[in-house]
Homo-oligomer: A and B are copies of this chain.
């Protein structure tokens, strides 16, 4: 490839597989909670784990890597099986779906932005595409379980993804391919997201609207 390669491909692959696995956990746990059966849990884990990367590749205009590389499929399926058999344990950790979701968001925001840069997209587009990669899986999870997507309801979901992707894009634009930056970007994203979850921070609501309700459309 004749475009600048950017960060260590091995690190990016590892982050991508980790993102697939934790998003898979988030999807699988949501499936266990909705009392889906074995197949439903694994399918939902796979959809959530793989959708972000597929949407990213379609938007970049490249052939989705997922189905050529068995490791992504294995990571997503493993997450589904873990949820099915150990779901009770994972559930004890309160709000565990949200925690895994935050980690997946962080990892995919960083790897999505990296891939966008590698395919020659501009920095603003790369930040947006990073956020979309992170948001896609959870959005599809919510649509399939018939909920208004988290990203539309809670302000500090897209914003941490944009921040995490921005850290990486700025570093890359400044010429640095130090592997600390993808890790830093992912950490910033996860930290902001978890902080917002813990303390209930939200984005502003329209100036003229009545007091916000948490789940407005129910």
Query: Out of B122, B148, B156, which one reaches A70, CB within 8 Å?
Result: B122
Closest to A212 in B: B35
CA A209 to CA B67, docked complex, whole Å:
32
Interface size on A, residues (CB 8 A): 67
**Beta-carbon contact of B61 and A64 below 8 Å:** yes
Minimum CB–CB distance from A112 to chain B (whole Å) comes to 11
**Beta-carbon contact of A202 and B66 below 8 Å:** no
Number of copies of chain A assembled together: 3
CA A15 to CA B38, docked complex, whole Å:
30
Query: Out of B145, B148, B154, B206, which one reaches A87, CB within 8 Å?
Result: B206
A74-100 vs B, Cβ < 8 Å mask (1 yes, 0 no) = 000000000011011000000000000
CA A68 to CA B121, docked complex, whole Å:
6
Residue pairs across A and B with Cβ atoms less than 8 A apart, 20 shown, are A32-B206, A32-B209, A34-B148, A34-B216, A36-B205, A37-B153, A38-B155, A38-B203, A38-B206, A40-B151, A40-B153, A43-B151, A54-B59, A60-B63, A67-B116, A70-B122, A70-B125, A139-B144, A144-B149, A146-B146
A9 sits at the interface (CB 8 A): no
**Beta-carbon contact of A125 and B67 below 8 Å:** yes
A158 sits at the interface (CB 8 A): yes
A44 sits at the interface (CB 8 A): yes
A108 sits at the interface (CB 8 A): no
CA A68 to CA B172, docked complex, whole Å:
19
**Beta-carbon contact of B44 and A152 below 8 Å:** yes
CA A206 to CA B158, docked complex, whole Å:
32
**Beta-carbon contact of B39 and A208 below 8 Å:** no
Given that A36-B152, A204-B37 are contacting pairs, would A59 and B70 also be in contact in the complex, using a CB cutoff of 8 Å? no
Per the 8 Å Cβ criterion, residues 4-36 of A in contact with B are 31-32, 34-36
The 4 closest A-B pairs by CB, nearest first: A61-B63, A35-B216, A40-B152, A88-B208
